[in-house]
Amino acid sequence: MALDRWIALAFITLCCVYGYAAFFTMDDSLPPILRRNPIWPSTFPKMLAVAGIIVGLMVLFGPKTRKADNPAKAADGTMDITKLREYQIVPALALVVLMLAYAMTLRPLGFLGSTTLFLMLGAMILGERKLYVLIPIAGLAAWSIWYLVQEVLGIFLRPWPAFMA
């Protein structure tokens, strides 16, 4: 089996575990008054789990890919592990490290600061170099997400660093 299908199988397994948690364990601690709401805290995780399983099954049982122009692809369209160095592994690992750093800086820097930095640095890792584009777009995106969560949904999300509260 090709590497992309193994990855899809691992992704389906992860989505099944996530879905089990969303469907069977997340709603047990809800107070009775919240059980009458049409949307629960587990609604979005349930949708994500189902969508992830569907996408994983599409990759797993979909048709084989044709030969691409990528030199790291084998003749039958699968990934050639012997040419693993030709893939962009360093930026992918840098993004994973950046995600971990984002999770660690949410409280000290606040949502707006850490999200803006995450979006800017993530875009720079992916190749964007225009700071006059990155700064306003990252700031507007972070503020928009904060506004939707805080003001529209009514979920408290600390926008500023802890020392400013």
CA distance 45 to 21: 9
Tell me the per-residue pLDDT of 79-126, one tens digit each, with 9 for 90 and over.
667 777 777 888 989 999 999 999 999 989 999 999 999 999 999 999
142, 110 contact by CB (below 8 A): no
CB contact set of 12 (below 8 Å; sequence gap of 6+):
52, 53, 56, 57, 60
23, 42 contact by CB (below 8 A): yes
Find the mean pLDDT for residues 35-44: 82
- One-letter amino acid at 18 equals Y
pLDDT at 68: 53
Question: Within a 10 A sphere around the Cβ of 12, how many other Cβ atoms?
Answer: 18
Local confidence band at 134 (pLDDT 50, 70, 90 cut-offs): very high
DSSP-derived secondary structure for 19-71: HHIIIIITTTT--GGGGGSSS-TTHHHHHHHHHHHHHHHHHHHSPPPPP-S-T
In which residue are the tokens 């049409």 written? Answer: 38
73 bridge partner residues:
79
Tell me the per-residue pLDDT of 43-82, one tens digit each, with 9 for 90 and over.
899 999 999 999 999 999 988 765 555 555 555 656 667 7
CB contact set of 144 (below 8 Å; sequence gap of 6+):
none
79 bridge partner residues:
73
Shortest CA distance to 107 belongs to which of 163, 154, 46? Answer: 163
Local confidence band at 17 (pLDDT 50, 70, 90 cut-offs): very high
